[in-house]
Chain A
Amino acid sequence: MRDTLSLLFYLMRLRVRTRLEFRAALLITWLAQAFGYAGIFASIWLILTRFGTIGGWTWPQMAFLLGFHTLGYALGACFTLVQLRRMEDIVLGGEFDTLLVRPLNPWAYLVFSGFNIEYGGHIALGAGLVAWAWPQLSIAWTTDTCLLLAGGLVSAALITASMITIIAACALVLGRARYLFGIYFDFWELSRYPASIFAAPFQVALLSIIPLGYMAYVPVAVLLGRPVPYLGAFAEIAALSAGPLSAVAAFFFWRFCLKRYQGGGG
């Protein structure tokens, strides 16, 4: 176990060192991605400057929500997105067969050997928004709030990694999965807004079968002391447990698909 972990850590280090060879390009990528997100967030700020609130959420509250969402996503996506988004190519090109004969779990190899440090812009923007909004929202620095903030971010990262893993696993059975990422990102965009502004069926979906509502809305609503539809007093525990539960579901789904994998290369 220790050897496996040190090997995975070594693969991560190799990847980081490779990416750091082109530091200027990496810095430009961070700036560009932060700029791209800032443009979208600026549109939301423009609505709030004119209308005051969106579903009762003010700009500092929305900024906190957007920052939390971006941060949680980046922490999960740096381990999974770029690596597993090309799962379709890996399967159809026969590369997955070569991973199966290596003395290492193929998921772990893909995830750690492709560890992506291009999310620096996301992290800086997300952390910046959270740091800017926190003092304006009068959220007390207590052990409970700090644990919920940290635990909620870990949970959000796990939800991101789990959903990406589940979509990638579909490629093992279906051969194609890239278009599913499109659907994932459409719902992911919904999850950057308060779920309470959507129609009831979408609220239920975001809090159950597509658990993206737990990425930011539920933990942030609990931190802000806002009521969470359908969850009520269970919102806090749900926010913290959604990530680990998603990870368990992703683990079993990956194994389920792997058992049914029959080779996709030609």
Chain B
Amino acid sequence: MTIAAATHRTSMGLDSRKMAFWAFIGSECLLFGSLISTYLVYKGRSVVGPYPHDILNIPFTSVSTFDLLMSSLMMVLALAAVQRGDLKWAKVWLVATALLGIFFLSGQVYEFTSFVREGLTLQTNLFGATFFVLTGTHGAHVTVGVVWLLTLWVRALQGQLTAANAVTVEICGLYWHFVDVIWIVIFTVVYLIQ
């Protein structure tokens, strides 16, 4: 017998790591909740422009949104592949997810720089401050997710990713989908409801 109580014997029959991660996601809800609240209570309070409708590019962001949705699809396919022990497709879907994440981030970098060129910075007005802090925090989360995905991909290349430790991919997936649903909210609240 080993002391490995956490993985082999649990009171609720649930994986401890998964439970901890769901608690973490719950906690993240309040992090983004606070940021979105700040955005909403400061909406329309900027004393100088540019204002949201001057600058937000809906067609461009729709593509980013589509990109992130597709990355979520790749992610679940990667998990399904790992669970059935199909390492070959796991590698493909993992790297595809990461690449779509990188594509999203490049889009955000482009968006931010073009906003700065059009005169919207952190310091310009409340819209700039709340917008950049909210979407920037989301972008930072995507960055962490990309690093995580690439790490799993390297593990897959090393042949270390088996059906037995599929839960590590599942948890990474939970994180990735959570970042996606936060974007679903941001896309609506920030971009579409101006």
Partners in one complex: no
